[in-house]
Copies of this chain bind each other. A is one copy, B any other.
Amino acid sequence: MIFKDHHIISMTSFSKDMIDHILETAEKMEPIALGKQKSDLLSGKVLAVLFFEPSTRTRMSFETAMYRLGGDVLNLGSVDASSIAKGETLADTIRVVDSYADAIVLRHPREGAAFLASEFSTVPILNAGDGAGHHPTQTLLDLYTIKRQSHLDGLKIALAGDLKYGRTVHSLCYALSLYGAQITMISPPELRMPEEIINDLENRGAKVTEVESIEEAIGEVDVLYMTRIQKERFPDPAEYQKVANRLKITTDLLKDAKQELRIMHPLPRVNEIHPDVDDTVHACYFKQAFYGVPVRMALVALVLGAIE
């Protein structure tokens, strides 16, 4: 399987075999990601990180992935302090940076930015989120978390929160449909998963159920994936508060859960998960954040052709 020189723009370009290969590669990277094993696989290589939007976790985990593999990171820095302030187009920025670095991680507020960048770049583009578009490395680390902390085959998963606008949730569902997952959608009526997506998922082999409260699903599932509900989606703050209160995880709620239940969250969380939950065996979100490192190590090493 050849990933060398490929752009990583969206999950839609990945077959199940390709995903499995990335996850297996990530697993080999884990001891290095944990700092238990040294590597100079990418020594002499330079990864450019161009973040046109805030992000701690994604940027830092890409950077640490590169460092753990012996490589270096070239950071665009804050956009204000760059040529972009002088009105340079993204295409021009990419055509300069691609001659400084061996691969480019791009985060951009505009949907389609990563694809546009890939049209101009002579080095692999890794999409680290393009607005309402795609964020494939998040989906891959979510899948990796499920694989490592639960199981991908025969998975029963519930997704809770904003299922209408949450791009990572859509992307994750498509990927899970490849594994025939049983997916329970938990959301307030205003933020339901779009009908077309549900149809798509069912056509691809997923089983989909919809409920309105976490209680209805908590006893059945292997994984509960929580997401943040953005206040901005609601014209009325009182309405937001009502919805937000309903979709919260507490230790009390977890008394009906299976021992094996794993709770995931892309972070940062605001109030969706009570801090008491952190100390239970179910909490899995900080582990999930860590798993971004081996997954991104795998991706960078694969597109640079350092491994196959």
Q: Contact residues of A with B, CB < 8 Å?
A: 35, 38-39, 43-46, 48, 51, 54-57, 59-61, 63-64, 67-68, 70, 72, 74-78, 80-88, 91-93, 95-97, 99-102, 267-270, 275, 286-287, 289-290, 293
Contact = CB atoms under 8 A, between A and B. Distances in A.
A90 B181 CA distance: 35
A46 to B, nearest CB: 5
B56 A290 contact: no
A78 B79 CA distance: 11
B44 A38 contact: yes
Given A56-B83, A67-B74, A96-B290, 4 more contacts: A54-B83, A75-B75, A78-B81, A92-B268
Contacts of A97: 56, 60
Contact of A99 (B67, B75, B78, B289): B289
Contact of A268 (B64, B77, B83): B83
A160 to B, nearest CB: 19
B64 A96 contact: no
A29 to B, nearest CB: 14
B99 A84 contact: no
A96 B45 contact: no
A290 B100 contact: yes
A57 B87 contact: no
A54 B82 contact: yes
B45 A35 contact: yes
Contact of A44 (B61, B68, B72): B68
A75 B7 CA distance: 26
Contact of A267 (B38, B64, B70, B88): B88
A5 B182 CA distance: 43
B54 A63 contact: no
Contacts of A102: 35
